[in-house]
Amino acid sequence: MEQLKELMERLKEFAVRKFENFIGPFDWEVTRNGSSTTFTGNFLVYDRKSKVKVRIQGQIIEWRGLPTQVYIYNPPEFVKNHRHSSCLQLLRPNDNWFKLHFDKPATDFASAYTYVEHFLTEAYNLKR
């Protein structure tokens, strides 16, 4: 029974990852407000075997005609030790929300999400 549960979980993760690569994450909440759209959910962090190991709360704000804004809540130590950790800026003292700055800013949700997921996954896998 335990093996069946494990298999079902792995199949679910596989299916979600394959579909999310095409249309974005299923479980992100979307709020539209005038000229912006706010996406709130969890970034997924994968190990080398493509298994979800960590979920990190985040927010992506899409602006019409402007780059997206990306926020990560309470990034783990492995993110703070990554070579791009200087791209994270604490929003307010004694707060846990960080803004992620890009060299080449993303212009839509899908590209911002994909970049952040790769960044977090790389940081996770390099910590080992």
pLDDT in tens, 69-95: 999 999 988 888 777 777 788 888 888
- Residue 24 confidence (pLDDT) above 70: no
Count up the domains in the chain and report the number. 1
**Is 18 a domain residue?**
no
pTM, 2 dp: 0.76
Measured distance CA(29)–CA(10) in Å, rounded: 24
Residue 7 lies in a domain: no
Does residue 61 lie in a domain region? yes
Task: Let me know if residue 10 belongs to a domain.
Answer: no
| pLDDT top residue among 109 and 18 | 109
What range does the domain containing 122 cover? Answer: 27-126
| Residue 52 placed within a domain | yes
Q: Evaluate whether residue 2 is within a structural domain.
A: no
In this model, does residue 23 exceed pLDDT 50?
no
Residue 119 burial by Cβ neighbours in a 10 Å radius (0-12, 13-18, 19+)? buried
